[in-house]
Amino acid sequence: MKIEALHKFHDADFSKEWVEKFEPTPPRIKLFETILKQIEKVGRKKTSILELGIGPGFLADYLLKELNTVTYEGLDFSESMLKIAAKRTAKHEKIIKFTQADLINEVWTEKLKKSPDVVVSTWALHDLFNKNNIFNVYKSAHKILPKDGVFLNGDFIKPEESNHEYEGGRIRPSEHIKLLQEAGFKSVKCLEEFEKDVENPTTANNYACFKAKK
Ligand SMILES: C[S@@+](CC[C@H](N)C(=O)[O-])C[C@H]1O[C@@H](n2cnc3c(N)ncnc32)[C@H](O)[C@@H]1O
């Protein structure tokens, strides 16, 4: 059985139903905590954060409740997801902006409203179908970040030791590390793996957080 989740994020009814099932569980919140700690370490006065694939805005809402001196830009190609994210983060409307763009089929960096100091993403880039599309996003993120800028990607992976068949965007931690290095990042590591289950993989377990510094 292939570990694969096919989504219809452009369909408003699908998005609404999917979001109801995606409510973050305690282990998923641990990924948010990991990302938060790393952003706090950046130590800029006003950190500009860009999220790739903001989806329903769970990560954005979590971060914005904890960080009050940041600006936030949430990018997604789905209009319905952007609407859900805007509703969830309405309390932070003064510091959050939304950008509709496709991470595969357009030069999304040209649509950004602000240059980021930190780029974050959770459970989104595996949806880009294959390694090459993920690599292109890594290269673009490297291009737009300043020196010492940080990229934090928490995403579903294929565990290193797994022999199961996974969809093309779920790649091994070593492959993420190699792609980030080839994209030009100088300091790259896998910070942590979450809900790891090599023998019994599902579409919802096995994810990891990668940190890359320019
Ligand atoms: C699982 S959701 C992200 C969840 C989000 N990080 C959160 O914490 O709520 C993945 C998102 O990636 C978006 N996405 C998938 N492929 C995309 C693409 N090619 N360009 C832009 N966004 C994309 C989807 O529309 C979806 O909203």
**pLDDT tens column, 192-205:** 999 999 999 999 99
Probe ligand 1: pick from 123, 135, 136, 203, max atoms within 8 Å of CB?
123
The answer to whether 177 and 204 are in contact (CB under 8 A) is no
Give 45's pLDDT tier (boundaries 50, 70, 90).
confident
Q: Is 73 in the pocket of ligand 1 (CB under 6 A)?
A: no
Q: Kindly give the interhelix angle for 12-21 and 79-88, rounded to the nearest 10 degrees.
A: 50
Instruction: Count how many Cα atoms sit within 13 Å of the Cα of residue 23 in the half-sphere of its side chain.
Output: 3
> Looking at the whole model, is its pTM more than 0.85?
yes
User: What HEC string does the chain produce?
Assistant: CCECCCCCCCCHHHHHHHHHHCCCCHHHHHHHHHHHHHHHHHCCCCEEEEEECCCCCHHHHHHHHHCCCEEEEEEECCHHHHHHHHHHCHHHCCCEEEEECCCCCCCHHHHCCCCCCEEEEECCHHHHCCHHHHHHHHHHHHHHCCCCCEEEEEEECCCCCCCCCECCCCCCHHHHHHHHHHCCCCEEEEEEEECCCCCCCCCCCCEEEEEEEC
Give the start-to-end residue ranges of the domains of the chain: 25-213
Q: Which CATH architecture does the domain made up of 25-213 adopt?
A: 3-Layer(aba) Sandwich (3.40)
Q: Is 84 in the pocket of ligand 1 (CB under 6 A)?
A: no
**pLDDT tens column, 162-213:** 999 999 999 999 999 999 999 999 999 999 999 999 999 999 999 999 999 9
CA-nearest residue, atom 13 of ligand 1: 53
